[in-house]
Amino acid sequence: MGIYYVGIVGGFLFKIQPLRQHVDEWVWVLVGDLPPAYITCEECPNAACALDGYIGAMQEWIEAAEAGKSVEDLIPVNVPATFENAQNLKSRLLMLDERILSLYQDDLDE
Distance CA 99, CA 22 (A): 35
Closest by Cα among 31, 39, 93, 99 to 62? 93
Q: How confident is the prediction along the chain (110 residues), in pLDDT tens digits per residue?
A: 689 999 899 999 999 998 888 888 899 999 999 999 999 888 889 999 999 999 999 999 999 999 999 999 999 999 999 999 999 999 999 999 999 999 998 898 76
Q: What single letter denotes the amino acid at residue 87? A: Q
Helix ranges restricted to H, the chain: 47-67, 83-95, 105-108
d(CA 19, CA 39): 18
